[in-house]
Structure 1
Amino acid sequence: MNPTNIQLIRGFKDILPGETELWQHIERTAITLFEDFGYREIRIPIMEKTELFARSIGEDTDIVEKEMYTFADRGGDLLTLRPEATACICRSYIQHKMAAQDPVRKFYTIGPMFRRERPQKGRYRQFYQIDAEIFGIAAPFADIELIFLLRTLFDRLNVTDTTAHVNSLGCPVCRPRFKAALAQILDQAAPHLCADCLRRKDRNPLRVLDCKVPGCRKAMAGAPSILDYLCDDCRTHFSTVTDTLAKLGVPFEIDKQLVRGLDYYTRTAFEIQTGALGAQSAVAGGGRYDGLIESLGGPAMPAIGFAVGFDRLAEIVAATAPLATRPPALFIAALGDTARRQAFEWSTALGVAGIGVSMLYEDRSLKAQMKQANRLNAGQVLIVGESELAAGQVVLRDMASKTQREIPVTALVKTLIEIFSPAPV
């Protein structure tokens, strides 16, 4: 009986060679940008106590109710694979008493998140995010900086079809008046709302504004805008954000239906939307959450952050500017056991020196080895056999020009390093 092949878990994926180079390019671009602006990397566990997400994301949300990978460990504690990074970074900020040392912190992290959503194109149960957070700054320039960073990141990755959607969520001073006005509209719209929105309208009414069901969006088209209910401080804050984005040349739209449904979110909320793959959709989003750290047991501390959907961003970058894999600079074609042993020693020395080198370790004909060099798109091939070693000269063949020259075996590694290393500027 043939054993059954073990397959990927549904909703998970392998990132294969050919894709990983693209992912590394995106990571390097993001890391360089973040560190140029003073952000420092933080690496957080992929598993936390379930209570952290119940308190931060909210027990009434779909994420906590339906989508988290939660289980009891042998000690009976409820643990959860992280569905997002912000709560984990806040927990670390509180636990390590970072506010006492210096409350102003800028962090970034890149890694996997987990949600048991229905798998579909571009959406996975293990997905990846690029995350950035700012703690300890209440001024609107932190909001502007994050939106500007997102736009700059996408520009550097040649994702140019992007627009920032921004809104203000007000604050505990002005939001209650808006919620009261919204409640009246929700009661009138109730017959046209989906089951989820009917459940949300009393417990979390702001989330109804963000529903993507066409019937709900149509029913809420006449809903009031929170911008009409902002207090003076929130209005000034939002005006600074929009005025400065305009001065910086960042395209944006004010989107009154862009909300966050939890009370600790305040003031600026934003998404970056792109039409790079057809339909306009969000590839990044964030917002100010000035009440979250205090709600998790830390000090009252302003904070704001964003998350980029890495999987979707990689899909967009691959479609707009595919990244070629780096071929080896040199392929060594060795003929015979003695030559192969010597070639292997050379290859290790060249690799340590930073020269991309490849070779076959088994006994193969020269024709087979040259075919392999072509498949790898190697720039040059070093041909070495027993006769070449005896003569003290090996052949270096340029694969593009088809020219070749002899290289002395003596000090061969030094000679090849000089040939392949870039000249000093």
Structure 2
Amino acid sequence: MDYKIADRGLAPSGEKKIRWAKQYMPVLRLLEEKYRKEQPLAGTVISACLHLEAKTACLLILLKDLGAKVTAAGSNPLSTQDDICAALVENGVSVFSRHGMTTEEYFENVRSALSVKPNIIVDDGADLVAMVHSEMRDLLPGIRGGSEETTSGVKRLKSMANEGVLAFPMISVNDAHSKYLFDNRYGTGQSVMDGILRTTNMLVAGKNVVIAGYGWCGRGVAMRASAMGARVIVTEIDPHRAFEALMDGYEVASMDDAASRGDIFLTLTGNTRVIRREHFEKMKDGVLLGNAGHFDVEICKPDLLDLSSSVEEARPGVETYTLKDGRRIHLLGEGRLVNLACADGHPIEIMDLSFALQLESAVFLAKNTLKPGLYDVPEAIDRAVMEAKLASLNIRLDRMSPEQEEYMKSWVE
């Protein structure tokens, strides 16, 4: 088995983390029981590009245990945990990643993960898909399809589909109800605040927290920041989302107006240069900047560097940019995903749902042939994942009686 990691000797530490996570992932355990005898992925080759931490490891090992040959690259240099990579290798998953890898290493690892000629892709940010279409097109005939987990990745896939260049089917796990209603809102909400607290040891209560973007992730972070006593200011480009933020009790302002007032700035838009030179020039001394969008482009680091006289690591995960006028701006996690660069990502129970969707999508692609394009997660799979979660909590749902079902179908009173 080919692999490239930091230190295989770290495996025992990674195994402990994986055991801890698995005990709080009841839906994945139910799927393991459901599919173990059937081995629906037997003969399948899967390439994944995901955040290589304990929860992800539970998914990758299960894919392997259900018959697939699994190769993985880490989707973020700072979220890759070297002990998890080692544990994955010990469990038969071929891994190409290390914590702190350079950009050049990252893309070389992506190429290595694809070199096994996959049938199915499991992506986080669409870098595997983009690489296949741009550099490794000889792999296209052998790919049955894949799944994408993030809003940013789905945005890229929609662009490819609209241009008519997406050459195989991709399932948008991100758009499943089980994903965006819970992972994006409750997962991002808790894990972003976790990253800030772990990295800075600072108080949130009483501060102005500026949240750029009021999608599902922005909603979740606003909810958690407000619950911790912060005054939340939302910036938006969409009038409906702006009005929703206002109705939810938050102040709505432009970034130009919020820049001079914020104490903590968090970007969750999926766009580029959301916070840039003209905003840095207005900010108070000592502000915190964090990004929870997939790529590290939302906070314009070149502008910040150009305005600065020095940069130093003030704490692990905190870069302090001292501006030429003496003000200090603290950037968390190099502007990468703050919840993964500065913490452990989404809570275990939330990722249990998202990874169950990834697993079921892989099984669906192994069993079905689809035309190229972007697809929703089949409704039956989305519903079954949530039903399994509720069943694990011993929660029973009401069911409609035959009379009620007939009433809902009829237009006659």
1 or 2, which has the higher helix percentage?
A: 2
TM-score (norm 1): 0.25
- Structure of larger gyration radius: 1
Q: Give the structure, 1 or 2, with the largest relative contact order (CA under 8 Å, sep 6 or more).
A: 2
